[in-house]
Amino acid sequence: MTDARRVHTQWSSRMAFILAASGSAIGLGNIWKFPYLTGDNGGGAFVLVYLLCVAALGVPIMMAETMLGRRGRQSPINTMLALADEAKASPLWHYVGWVGVLAGFLILSYYSVIAGWAMAYIPKMSSGMFSHSDAAKAGEVFRELQGSSQLQFIWHTLFMTATMAIVSMGVSAGLEKWTRYLMPLLFVMLILLDGYAMTTGGFGQGIAFLFKPDFSRLGGEGVLAAMGQAFFSLGLGMGAIMVYGSYLPSHVSIARASLFVAAADTIVALLAGVAIFPIVFANHLAPTMGEGLIFQTLPVAFGQMPAGATVGALFFLLMFFAAITSSIALIEPAVAWLSENRGMSRSAAAFWSGAACWLIGLGTIFSFNDWAGYTWFGKNFFELIDFLTSDLMLPVGGVLVAVFAGWIMRPADSEAELEMGAGSGYRVWQFLIRYIAPAGVGLVFLRAVGVI
């Protein structure tokens, strides 16, 4: 194929890919977004639809996206162009790559603001200000941060700068090593919080809320949100996994790596949910408080634990780390394209894409204070960007990847690239990707607009 394909660097091993892909998947989506969306959408039924989407759409599409990346070995846009050429299909397919670049940009713009909140909570926690505090105090502290555009401006700028700095240093620079230790630590912290949740008196109610489906509480838009969250949390439909796949050495099992990443991602989200809802109910809070949910509940838990100030600060530090390994994935498709096609250095590419995200992010900051009154279709700026990306662009991007991998690419090529052996694995994947993915996403869209 092209020169780019030959000189493109590769991961040192299968483990390195798994670490990077889990780093991309596990982030604010699991700890911050999954709990609040579950709360907003009535609990168990939302969780069930989410899990179904992860299994039936997420895993096969993750395999497809990784596979396309490995075969193309370039930025998503150029990969789609090269693969369309290989399959003698229309070059228009490269717009899939563009949808991804745009979605990544828009997501990162608000992701950075929320990651900034997590950063702001590191000094807040360690100051001991939440010691023995109640939910009212935690709510007050959060609203003060959300109301201040200046404070959020500072943290958002810091987070974006950190992202740009790391991205300009290159793919494997140091991060793999950190992910290997910090992700398991985050896991341990969540288990610790789950242990605390069991002592709150709200545990039974919290678990019932999460795992007892009540479909009367899940409307069409809730079903759409559950599907969008599956794509968002796995980091699918925008080229991030395609980029990581492009660095994957041949002969690594894509199916096994994808299953592992999806399982780890789902477990982390569920552990976060199990930690948070008991605290919500024990403190007589409403699960529907939206994007501030974890910031108004977890500090109460830390405030009541021994050494809670330190443990809490460490938790938000780990959350920051989880966010940064995702933000790198969000910006990578744009950076890869700018350096491949525009001859920019990695640093320049990282700077300009980061600056653009930073600018759009200001809209999210203002949507919580100065612009709170401006809404479109009942959504403020932040909610609108989130809806457009998670609920529309990612699923559409994912389906296009599925259609390309299932129908456009020659089956001989996808079979060769997936290397699933002689069993029925490849057939199952092909069925899911050809029929279930497009039909599933289509049905959810129709349900959301009320047609079914």
**209 vs 321, beta carbon nearer ligand PHE:** 321
Q: Are 199 and 304 in contact (CB under 8 A)?
A: no
**80 vs 240, beta carbon nearer ligand PHE:** 240
In terms of Cα–Cα distance, which of 232, 390, 394, 294 is closest to 39?
294
Enumerate the β-bridge partners of residue 376: 379
Smallest separation, CB 255 to ligand PHE (Å): 20
Smallest separation, CB 258 to ligand PHE (Å): 14
**285 vs 319, beta carbon nearer ligand PHE:** 319
**25 vs 166, beta carbon nearer ligand PHE:** 25
> 89: exposed, middle or buried (C-beta count within 10 Å: 0-12, 13-18, 19+)?
middle
**106 vs 274, beta carbon nearer ligand PHE:** 106
CA 268 to CA 23: how far, in whole Å?
A: 12
Give the residue at shortest CB distance from ligand PHE.
29
Smallest separation, CB 190 to ligand PHE (Å): 14
Smallest separation, CB 241 to ligand PHE (Å): 8
**41 vs 200, beta carbon nearer ligand PHE:** 41
CA 332 to CA 64: how far, in whole Å?
A: 19
CA 360 to CA 444: how far, in whole Å?
A: 29
Question: Which amino acid makes up residue 60?
Answer: P
* Site of interaction with ligand PHE (CB under 6 A): 24-25, 27-30, 107, 232-233, 235, 238, 240, 326, 329-330
Smallest separation, CB 133 to ligand PHE (Å): 28
Smallest separation, CB 65 to ligand PHE (Å): 11
Instruction: Look at the chain and count its residues.
Output: 452
Tell me the DSSP string of 127-170: TTTTTT--HHHHHHHHHHHHH-HHHHHHHHHHHHHHHHHHHHT-
